[in-house]
Amino acid sequence: MITCFIRYDIEPWGRDAFVDYARAWGQAIPECGADLIGYYAPHEGSATTAYGVYNIESLAEYEAYRARLKDHPLGRQNFAFAQGERFIRREDRIFLTRVDR
């Protein structure tokens, strides 16, 4: 099992749009096969950093999951929403393995 951490740099005015974006992924991600841990929007401190976190079986499964997500109706809609609204300035992914168990 690997965990994908997505770090978003969002526009300072984009928190509400990011919350809508995250809520849509809350439905689409599990339907496409990943175990969503959660999405996190700015609250105190930085107004521009947000995160999404989910588990997936392997990098090979991640590639299949991404293909399913791009074909999913809500996934397509959410990708288009983010492109149209332009509230995400940057998005970085890192894949980590839990080692404390």
Query: Which amino acid belongs to residue 37?
Result: I
Locate 12 and state its tokens: 């300072």
The candidate with the shortest Cα–Cα distance to 39, out of 5, 13, 67, is 5
Give me the pLDDT at residue 38, please.
Answer: 98
Task: Give the pLDDT mean for 50-57.
Answer: 98
Confidence at 43, pLDDT banded by 50, 70, 90? confident
The candidate with the shortest Cα–Cα distance to 66, out of 95, 23, 28, is 28
Instruction: Report residue 54 CA to chain centroid gap.
Output: 8
The pLDDT of residue 46 is above 90: no
**What CATH number is associated with residue 21?**
3.30.70.100
Q: Is there a domain that residue 101 lies in?
A: no
Q: Is there a domain that residue 57 lies in?
A: yes
If you average pLDDT over every residue of the chain, what do you get?
A: 96
Q: Is there a domain that residue 76 lies in?
A: yes
Q: Is there a domain that residue 89 lies in?
A: yes
User: Where do we find the tokens 């300035």?
Assistant: 89
Q: Is there a domain that residue 25 lies in?
A: yes
d(CA 83, CA 22): 14
Give me the pLDDT at residue 47, please.
Answer: 87
Task: Give the pLDDT confidence of 64-86 residue by residue, as tens digits.
Answer: 999 999 999 999 999 999 999 99
CB 73 within 8 A of CB 34: no
Q: Is there a domain that residue 70 lies in?
A: yes
Confidence at 44, pLDDT banded by 50, 70, 90? confident
Q: Is there a domain that residue 72 lies in?
A: yes
Which residue range(s) make up the domain with 76? Answer: 2-96
Query: What is the number of domains present in the chain?
Result: 1
User: Where do we find the tokens 């974006």?
Assistant: 21
Q: Is there a domain that residue 78 lies in?
A: yes
The pLDDT of residue 24 is above 80: yes
